Amino acid sequence: MTEESKPKLVMSNDASEISLEKLAKLYSAMLRQGFVECPNCREINPKEATYCSNCGARLKHPEHFYVLSSWLI
């Protein structure tokens, strides 16, 4: 990958000008730090929540699936 083709973070006084790559990294970090995304509306909720604070859908917690799948094997 050449220097010109690498994604760049746009620096400006306008906070809305952030690269998609940076947003994706921040989003991933948020999910790892104790948040879970609603499968219905994509709202970010605290990890302890059972239902989405935005739409009320039941939240899926990935760690529960890993425990169940390893128990069944």
**Is residue 38 one of the residues assigned to a domain?**
yes
pLDDT digits (tens, 9 = 90+) for 10-67: 555 555 566 788 777 777 777 777 888 888 998 888 888 999 999 999 998 765 444 4
Full domain range(s) for residue 32: 17-72
**Is residue 50 one of the residues assigned to a domain?**
yes
**Is residue 10 one of the residues assigned to a domain?**
no
CA–CA separation, 55 and 7 (whole Å): 34
Domain count, the chain: 1
Residues in the chain: 73
Q: What is the pTM of this model?
A: 0.47
**Is residue 9 one of the residues assigned to a domain?**
no
